[in-house]
Amino acid sequence: MKKRDLRLITDLNREDLLAIFQLSAEMKADPRAFSKALEGKTMAMINEKQSLRTKVTFEAGIQQLGGYSVYLTNQDINLGKREPVKDVARNLARWVDLVVARVFSQQSIMDLAKYADIPVINALSDEGHPCQAIADLFTVWDCLRERGDLEGFNLTFIGDGNNVCNSLILIAGLLGFHLTVCTPSGYEPDPSMTWQGREMSHDWGGAITFELDPVKAVKSADAIYTDVWTSMGQEKETDERKRVFQGYQVNEGLLSQAPNHAVVMHCLPAHRGEEITDGVLESDRSVVFEQAENRLHTQKALMKYLFDQSA
């Protein structure tokens, strides 16, 4: 059986992404038309971290497509400790049709995909958050560009060069828009993903650049994106990160330096008063809750697309 996984954004190509965007738009417009799209299919969802958006959007999503969900936390399976990941993968592949995993280590995703002969979706790891990046750029494509080309679009990411930033770099390379990354020195994204993103962007007219000064970074931005300064698992670094990232807050002053049409994006949960102010997040320039809603539509489309491609 040929199968397709989503381990990182690079498991998809430009045509895949645009097809998923189109399918997402169709599912968003008429969800009932797809109520039997995955009838009888069962998803196992492994979740090593706390989750609101990922848990609800994947579980509600497969139910809306006619399928079922089995939810597995650390208390249930203790992935990789109670038994090897490869054994978990081969067991699940005999019982269910799809594995979605939100894990600490990218290696767990790689092992699940290697040993399970069913599609595996990375719902977050230390290296990437591809589902979030797909929902983010669908939001741009659907809401801001009215389903037009992303050529010439300027997205500025401000904050920690984390898993979300890594995935935005890779998807920028595939879709050919301009991504400016603004992080403090020492908190840059994975250099190997920056290299991959830049290599891919050469084919599609995009660019990935770095700027240390947040004011300069937002001068030509069409959208400004930020994320928490301290991710789950980094809690011991909280005080130090608050000190280092002080000048990287997305606030009213910084937003005033951006073009008037620039919108604000955040993958949530937000630490209001740290990486973003309450006023900016609640302002009419925020598309944060559009992004959150689009997690549902894009993940439904992604599940159906991977099943269709794996048939």
- Distances from the Cα of 17 to the Cαs of 83, 129, 141, 179, 189, in angstroms? 35, 15, 11, 17, 22
pLDDT in tens, 80-119: 888 999 999 999 999 999 999 999 999 999 999 999 999 9
Determine which one of 227, 249, 266, 291 is catalytic. Answer: 227
In this prediction, residue 16 has a pLDDT band, given cuts at 50, 70 and 90, of very high
pLDDT in tens, 197-245: 999 999 889 999 999 999 999 999 999 999 999 988 888 899 999 999 9
- Distances from the Cα of 95 to the Cαs of 38, 98, 118, 228, in angstroms? 16, 9, 10, 37
How far apart (Å, rounded) are the C-alpha atoms in residues 61 and 63?
5
**Helices and strands: H and E segment counts in the chain:** 13, 9
How far apart (Å, rounded) are the C-alpha atoms in residues 199 and 178?
13
∠ CA 135-139-145, rounded to 5°: 145
Give the pLDDT confidence score for residue 2 in this predicted structure: 86
Note whether 27 and 300 are within 8 A (CB).
yes
Catalytic residue check, 267? yes
Give the pLDDT confidence score for residue 182 in this predicted structure: 98
Catalytic residue check, 129? yes
Catalytic residue check, 132? yes
The pLDDT > 70 percentage for the chain reads 100
Helices (H), ranges, 14-145? 14-29, 53-64, 74-77, 85-95, 106-115, 130-139
Residue 86: CB atoms within 10 Å: 14
Point out the least confidently predicted range of 30-34, 47-51, 252-256: 47-51
Catalytic residue check, 243? no
Q: Which two tokens stand for residue 270?
A: 């937000």
Query: What pTM was estimated for this model as a whole?
Result: 0.97
In this prediction, residue 64 has a pLDDT band, given cuts at 50, 70 and 90, of very high
Query: Which residue would you say has higher pLDDT here, 184 or 74?
Result: 184
What DSSP assignment string belongs to 167-227?
Answer: HHHHHHHHHT-EEEEE--TT-PPPHHHHHHHHHHHHHHT-EEEE-S-HHHHHTT-SEEEE-
Note whether 220 and 154 are within 8 A (CB).
yes
Catalytic residue check, 271? no
- Distances from the Cα of 221 to the Cαs of 5, 257, 259, 285, in angstroms? 33, 10, 7, 13
Give the pLDDT confidence score for residue 1 in this predicted structure: 57
Determine which one of 4, 7, 53, 102 is catalytic. Answer: 102
| First-to-final CA distance of the chain | 7
The pLDDT > 90 percentage for the chain reads 90
Determine which one of 4, 7, 267, 297 is catalytic. Answer: 267
Report CA torsion sign: 145, 148, 152, 156: positive
The type of residue at 120 is V
pLDDT in tens, 122-166: 999 999 999 999 999 999 999 888 888 898 999 999 999 999 999
pLDDT at 306 over 80: yes
- The 10 Å CB-count burial string (b at 16+, else e) for 190-226 is beebbebbbebbeeeebbbeebeebeebbeebbbbbb
pLDDT at 36 over 60: yes
Mean pLDDT of 12-24: 97
The type of residue at 245 is F
